[in-house]
Structure 1
Amino acid sequence: MGRWKGGAQCAVMLTFDVDAETLWLAGDATRLNQPGMLSQGTYGARVAVPLILDLLERAGIRATFFVPGWTAETHADVIRAVHERGHEIGHHGYLHEQPTALAPEEEAEVLVRGINALQAISGEAPVGYRSPAWEFSAHTLDLLQRHGFRYSSNLMSDFVPWVHPGTDIVELPVQWLLDDAPFFLFGSGRTQRPIQPAAVAYQAWTEEFEGIYRHGGLFNLTMHPQLIGRPGRLLMLERLIEFIRGHEGVWFATGREVAEFWQREG
């Protein structure tokens, strides 16, 4: 018997950071005048998210979408569809700001703006927080505690959840290996690293899943609609889901479900 819900051997989270245009606008609002650059993010919201929602519906999986407040306001119909189809919406800043670049009062303001934007969509405050760039300031944890967050998904110090000392906030660990950006992020205004074929990510992710499965950990996959949402890469994601389901005792869950289980049983 494994440690997870129903005795499952391994927990699996499929998560999507819906950055949309904020990935390019953060720190440089003048890029609003560069539609070619921003179209990379527009694709993520307007085209990729609906494709991802259809894939998840076919697979019968509920996922977690981490959404900047600006994205929720600018693409409200898209994010509303995420909520209406039963997926969790988590906090991902307002304009993809990095907390370590903000003064304490600015970080607090950004957190509240994001909460309000997401609450306008879902009717409730988010309980999960994923920082842009997966980074904390000296004030982040206190802010999360003050605003009632139940979990963070930002740190890389383990592959099983843990509770931040002195709080009741569960950390759901991430890892660059389980992120689509190192394989696929390319383009003007961001990076010029070589684009990898989808098969390379598939090999890396299946290898890591098998290792995490053996140890009974959490397979927390971070994806970005503008990257994973290309047609060929979505075919790879379908194959990955089939591969994972070929193992006994796998629990697909949202971040909220994993955190609540860990608070009770972990």
Structure 2
Amino acid sequence: MTANEHAFDFTHEREFIGYGMNSPDPQWPKGAKIAVSFVVNYYMGAEFSPEYGDPGSEWLFLDLPRVRPKEGGPRSDINESMYEYGGREGVPRILNLFKKYGLKYTWNISTQALEKAPYWARHIVASGAELSCASKRYIDYMNVDVDSEATHIAEAVDSLQKLSGDATLPHGWMVDRRSNVSIRLYAREHAKRGLPLLYSSDSCSDDLPYWTPSPLVADGQPDTGLLMLPFSYDTSDFRFNAYGNGWSSPKDYAEYLRDTFDVFYDEGLAGEAKMMTVVLHPHIIGRGGRLAYFEEFLQYVLSKPGVWIARRDEIAAHWAKQFPYHPTSAFCQTKQEPC
């Protein structure tokens, strides 16, 4: 049985109201008007490739627009070399940039990728960044059977702990190309190990963290809730290499980030503070011209008072403390009165 054939057993009722007109005050530390979260997706070496038994080479988010390789065709060396650039040049540039400004951030790891370059594991750990988990591979898990995905998740936890030397990891997940069962599968793995699951970022549905009922209730386990820290594709650098509506220049990207920040910052000044998430990829933002304009955005953010730049596990811990889980008020449970 494939993931798609019984995925709907594992999803919550859709929620279209959220916080409605009563957005909570996040009470960000030191009265901050906005929380900013930078997430670096590390998956170079975990993407599709015939090297790993896949039917073709990865074709998403490359600098050279290409026709999708035929299934069963040869490896695309040029495609793979663009991902290799992320490790060779992008990773050190990002590490150096965030070190330069002393900023906290999160690396979201596809563990097979870091296994191929453990050299970077110790540098990422030494940077003080959080290591969240993106599962073992950077592949479309909607096309992977449930048992295989569960195995990947278990192997990813083992690998991340070994690579980082931290047996408490991961605190959070963002599979990104997830299936409808991914969240429940990694929640199960954490429960099996007695490993706290602080948050999931496998959602794009809000600009604030929010609670949902635990995905393990259907397994007969107590409802301790699951905190969602949403992310968004609109502020991701992937749009440099996306088909259609993407960034025509690094200046466009920096301007959009600045405009988004300004809107959220103004909402914070008005008493409705938000969380802004910026997702980065070493093989994309790691190009020199792009990183230069991104640095200008960082400088702009740092010029503003009342900004909390934090790791995702720090944001999750803060939210859980200020707004503990309550099953009757969790999303997918709150019944709003009609207008």
- TM-score strictly above 0.5: yes
2:183 corresponds to:
140
**Which deviations, in whole Å up to 9, do the C-alpha atoms of 1:234-255 show, x marking residues without a partner?**
1111111111122221001001
Q: CA deviation at 1:89?
A: 0.9
Contact in 2 for aligned 1:99/1:140 (Cα 8 Å): no
Distance 2:255 2:308 in 1: 21
- Once the two structures are superposed, residues 121-158 of structure 1 have per-residue CA deviations (whole angstroms, 9 ceiling, x without a partner) of 1122211101132x442352353254132111121211
Structure 2 residue aligned with 1:7: 31
Q: Does 1:185 pair with 2:241?
A: yes
Q: Which moved more, 1:69-78 or 1:205-214?
A: 205-214
CA distance in 1, matches of 2:90, 2:97: 10
User: TM-score by structure 2 length?
Assistant: 0.71
Please name the residue that 2:69 is paired with.
none
Superposition map of 1:113-152 within 5 A? 113-124=155-166, 125-133=169-177, 135-138=178-181, 140-144=183-187, 146-147=189-190, 148-152=196-200
**Higher normalized helix content (fraction of residues):** 1
Q: Give the one of 308, 318, 334 matched to 1:261.
A: 318
Which residue of structure 2 lines up, in the alignment, with residue 198 of structure 1? 250
SS state of the match for residue 242, structure 1? helix
C-alpha offsets along residues 16-74 of structure 1, whole Å, 9 cap, x if unaligned? 00121333438726548433211111111121111110000111112101111111110
Superposed displacement of residue 97, structure 1: 2.8
Q: Write the distance in 1 (CA, Å) between the matches of 2:112 and 2:151.
A: 13
Structure 2 partner of 1:211 = 263
1:248 is the counterpart of 2:272:
no
Moved over 6 A (4+): none
Aligned-pair CA distance for 1:93:
1.8
Residue 202 of structure 2 corresponds to which residue in structure 1?
Answer: 154
Whole-angstrom distance in 2 between the partners of 1:224 and 1:216: 27
Asked if the contact 2:48/2:56 (under 8 Å) is kept, the reply is no
- Given residue 196 of structure 1, which amino acid in structure 2 is its aligned partner? S
Normalised TM-score (structure 1): 0.89
| 1:235 counterpart SS class | helix
| Paired position in structure 2 for 1:42 | 84
What's 1:176 paired with? 233
Distance 2:289 2:82 in 1: 16
When residues 52 and 2 of structure 1 are mapped into structure 2, their CA distance, relative to the original with a 3 A threshold, is same
Counterpart of 2:150?
A: 108
- 3-state DSSP of counterpart to 1:22: coil
Q: Is the 8 A contact 1:27 1:97 kept in 2?
A: no
The code of the aligned residue for 1:109 comes to T
Alpha-carbon distance, 1:264 to partner = 0.4
Q: Note the alpha carbon deviations across 1:85-126, whole angstroms, 9 max, x for none.
A: 211111112121333222221121111111111111112221
Q: CA deviation at 1:169?
A: 2.6
| Amino acid in structure 2 at the alignment position of 1:65 | W
Larger Rg: 2
| 2:54 pairs with one of 28, 51, 54 | 28
Q: Of 136, 139, 148, which aligns to 1:94?
A: 136
CA distance in 1, matches of 2:284, 2:152: 25
Counterpart among 272, 277, 287 of residue 230 in structure 1: 287
- Give yes or no for contact 1:93–1:132 (8 Å, CA) kept in 2: no
Change (3 A) 1:210 1:145: farther
